[in-house]
Amino acid sequence: MTFVPLFVVIDAVGNIPFVVALSEDLSRDERRKLFYLATAAATGIGLGFLFLGRFLLNVLAISVGSFAIAGGLVLLVLAFHHKTTGRLVDTSKEDMVAVVPIGTPLTVGPGSIATLLLLATQFSLVWVLVSFLLNMAIVFISFVLAERVARLLGQTGIKVFSRIAAIFLGAIAVSMVIRGLQIIGVISGTS
């Protein structure tokens, strides 16, 4: 009961296009390092919020909705950066790319964090923890599959894929902002 909601919200398979686009200029070794770092960052962030999230958000007086808006704005800036420079991010700093945007908010973002916090109030912490760690294993496997997708597409295919991914990234960003505005009550309705 705790695995499926996390699987849906983390969307490991859905993130493959973004991982391909963000790692397009990296060597195989750099890409592999990126996958490990991104998985570790996402896992660390998820675990941190699972165990300390409510406390941290309360201490900082930040709502989950505000967190969703901030994550959406980060992604929106990345999408605009791609439109002006032709690149999503500077991949020469793959350590940073692994953390933002791959580790968070793409892999473990406001939706995942909210889901973790909600599940922890409804189910045993052990089950939520096991479900989250299983999902992180699936995330890593999807990152490795992204490497195969990149080889299959070739450089030209990756460039085209990257342009399309940037448009979707912008749409996801807007959706996150709208959802955050709904959570904090600024707007009503469903997205």
pLDDT digits (tens, 9 = 90+) for 55-79: 988 899 988 788 778 877 877 887 7
Domain containing 59: what range?
27-183
| Residue 51: count of CB within 10 angstroms of its CB | 14
pLDDT at position 87 is: 63
Does residue 107 form part of some domain?
yes
Residue 18 lies inside a defined structural domain of this protein: no
In a domain, 5, yes or no: no
Domain count, the chain: 1
Residue 174: per-residue pLDDT: 86
Residue-wise pLDDT for 86-95, tens only, equals: 665 555 566 7
Note whether residue 19 is domain-resident.
no
Q: pLDDT tens digit string along 9-22?
A: 898 887 888 888 88
Identity (one letter) of the amino acid at 87? R
> Is the pLDDT confidence value at 166 over 80?
no
Report yes or no on 7 lying in a domain: no
The answer to whether 23 touches 144, Cβ cutoff 8 Å, is: no
Between 29 and 21, residue with greater pLDDT: 29
pLDDT above 80 for 1: yes
Closest C-alpha among 134, 75, 120 to residue 101:
75
Is residue 49 a part of any domain in this protein? yes
Query: Would you state the pLDDT for residue 42?
Result: 97
Length of the chain: 191
Instruction: Flag whether 154 is in a domain.
Output: yes
| Residue 163 domain-assigned (yes or no) | yes
